[in-house]
Structure 1
């Protein structure tokens, strides 16, 4: 894959992959594991900057994941979610207190403003996810979920009543009343 020029892209910025329409060039032996590891040809990518760079050119199309440059598009495999939330903190927003999430690849998202939260089954287990760019999602790491679970309050949403979180004025149902 030709990555020339991508090294100039700052970590905090995102290249305009949504504007690129390169031809499909085949499959790449790259797997994003369910635990957040990026594995290329059987070996874990150990350079965080490389993983972050690849994450910036990740694209979801027809339930398949691709790395996209202006001239190439290669398919990769994703076991669960391509992103993993590893940190969180409370911040103050115009809409009130909000949870700020940070992913393993240094994406920063505010729950209720930049992303939403839901529970979904994966491998016979209910897991928390947040929405990401281009229709992708991030798994909320277990340690992060336990941390935010200490802030669960009664909520009511269109899905029903139960307990969940309130962030930036939005209610998120995590467990419905029976």
Structure 2
């Protein structure tokens, strides 16, 4: 389905629905509106949110949109109580841009301001690209939304890792998270 006749109206409606939420996330899992089509929003692999081919320059607007983002079986969408608009996501919707040790946990902060502690509820998973051997770390943020861990953050984790069962491993919230093989070095 193509974009609504006035995609700016849809964009404004999504932003307006997110405004009252502030730092509290709206209950998008409880909203089941009719699918209204697509809105020309793309979240690029580098984390830049684009609207109609141009970067969305206001971080507050990106944060607002991120609070009404949901991943459904048919893909990513922005959801309000009365509208559901599909968007495109090149990789994952968020980037984990910092990680800091907090006692026995690692806290990750995303490019849209969400912070989670890696643990049972927020696993850190490192997959490896079979063709390149490059690690592709990600951390669970909420529902079915994940953040790609920035390369610099991943290197911080590697520096802090210990070797367990021949794997570089960090622990957070009592849970071990393997980063990669100890002997091969992590790219």
**TM over 0.5, yes or no?**
yes
SS at match of 2:61: helix
The answer for the alignment partner of 1:62 in structure 2 is 73
Q: What are the residue-to-residue correspondences of 1:34-113 with 2, within 5 Å?
A: 34-62=45-73, 64-92=75-103, 97-113=104-120
The answer for the alignment partner of 2:175 in structure 1 is 170
How many angstroms apart in 2 are the aligned matches of 1:120 and 1:82?
A: 17
SS at match of 2:160: coil
How many angstroms apart in 1 are the aligned matches of 2:153 and 2:140?
A: 16
Q: Deviations over 1:115-161 (max 9, x none)?
A: 111112468543110112111211001111111211111235xxxx5
Shift of 1:114: 4.1
Gaps spanning 5+ residues in structure 1: where?
Answer: none
Q: Return closer, same or farther for 1:120/1:63 CA change in 2, 3 Å cut-off.
A: farther
SS at match of 2:152: helix
Q: Return closer, same or farther for 1:30/1:5 CA change in 2, 3 Å cut-off.
A: closer
* Greater strand share, structure number: 1
How many aligned residue pairs are there? 169
Gaps spanning 5+ residues in structure 2: where?
Answer: 1-9
Cα pair 1:155 1:165 within 8 Å, conserved: no
Q: What are the residue-to-residue correspondences of 1:11-26 with 2, within 5 Å?
A: 12-26=23-37
RMSD: 1.8
The answer for the alignment partner of 1:9 in structure 2 is 21
